[in-house]
Amino acid sequence: MRPGLPSAILLCLLIMGPGQTVFGGEAVTGVGPIHRLSLSQWASILPPDILVLDDPSSIEGFLDELESHPPDWATVYGQGHHDPGHDERLFNLNRERDERRAGHSVLQRRIAFRWTGELSRFDPETGGFSIALGPVVSPTKWGQVRFKPEDLPGDLRAVPSPDHLADLRRTLADGHGVELTVVFVGHLIPDESVVYDFSHDQDGLGLIMPFVRVEAIHYLLSS
């Protein structure tokens, strides 16, 4: 075992076993354990082929490689949403980008991104909590980036270890929220893998939505 690693990480390594990856081709399920790890701790044990996209720098580098350069948002926006050519320019932008990235090697990369989650109702059958999900919007030089998970299971359940279950139920019963990080892992959808739009928060601000076919879901709760 590696000296200096937190015990929770060592446990994950032992569970994975020799030669096994974190996401070893298992069927996607929304029911999974709560890992008592921060995102950085979790990312440190990932296989090298998984790219974690969780800060402007990593997201911008990913888009630079995949899309080459940001759109000319000012030209596409024109005079705004009521501009007669606005919708057509936005449609053409998406169509041109879809055609350009077809077959790109980055589409074969596994990526990981996070949404926020909050524990909700306890489910005795699975021993876990249902989760209220919320997207994370990242400001970048490209515009706002919001990853979109596709093919999510119908029910998401985060299952704590037995020694933490009572504490979590007590916290919720006392009216306190319990937030956690929900990490999605998968590949960009080959067709229409990135959708361009405009933010509803600020006129002319670009919104980039990478659509990811989810292959694994992980629940992280920092100590």
What is the SS3 assignment for 123-161? ECCCCEEEEEEECCCEEECCEEECCEEECCCCCCEEECC
At residue 24, the pLDDT reads 44
Q: How many CA atoms lie within 13 A of 102 on its CB side?
A: 7
At residue 85, the pLDDT reads 85
At 17, is the pLDDT very low, low, confident or very high (cuts 50, 70, 90)?
very low
Taking the CA atoms of 72, 76, 81 and 87 in sequence, report the sign of the dihedral they define: negative
- The mean per-residue pLDDT over the stretch 21-26 comes to 45
How does DSSP assign 174-202, residue by residue?
Answer: TT---EEEEEEEEEE-STT-EEEEE-SSS
Rounded distance between C-alpha atoms, residue 78 and residue 85, angstroms? 8
> Residue 2 above 70 pLDDT?
no
Rounded distance between C-alpha atoms, residue 40 and residue 74, angstroms? 36
> Residue 122 above 80 pLDDT?
yes
- Computed over every residue of the chain, the mean pLDDT equals 87
At residue 6, the pLDDT reads 45
> Residue 8 above 80 pLDDT?
no
At 166, is the pLDDT very low, low, confident or very high (cuts 50, 70, 90)?
very high
Q: How many CA atoms lie within 13 A of 61 on its CB side?
A: 8
Model pLDDT for residues 105-121, shown as the tens digit of each residue? 999 999 999 999 999 99
At 77, is the pLDDT very low, low, confident or very high (cuts 50, 70, 90)?
very high
- The mean per-residue pLDDT over the stretch 32-42 comes to 94
At 26, is the pLDDT very low, low, confident or very high (cuts 50, 70, 90)?
low
> Residue 40 above 60 pLDDT?
yes
> Residue 14 above 60 pLDDT?
no
> Residue 12 above 60 pLDDT?
no
How does DSSP assign 70-137, residue by residue?
Answer: ---HHHHHTT-TTSTTHHHHHHHHHHHHHHHHTT-GGGGSEEEEEEEEEEEEEETTTTEEEEEEE---
**Do residues 155 and 128 lie in contact, with contact meaning Cβ atoms separated by under 8 Å?**
no
127 vs 13 pLDDT, higher one = 127
At residue 13, the pLDDT reads 36
Model pLDDT for residues 182-221, shown as the tens digit of each residue? 999 999 999 889 999 999 888 999 999 999 999 999 999 9
Picking from 81-90, 126-135, 184-193, which range would have the lowest pLDDT averaged per residue?
A: 81-90
At residue 154, the pLDDT reads 84
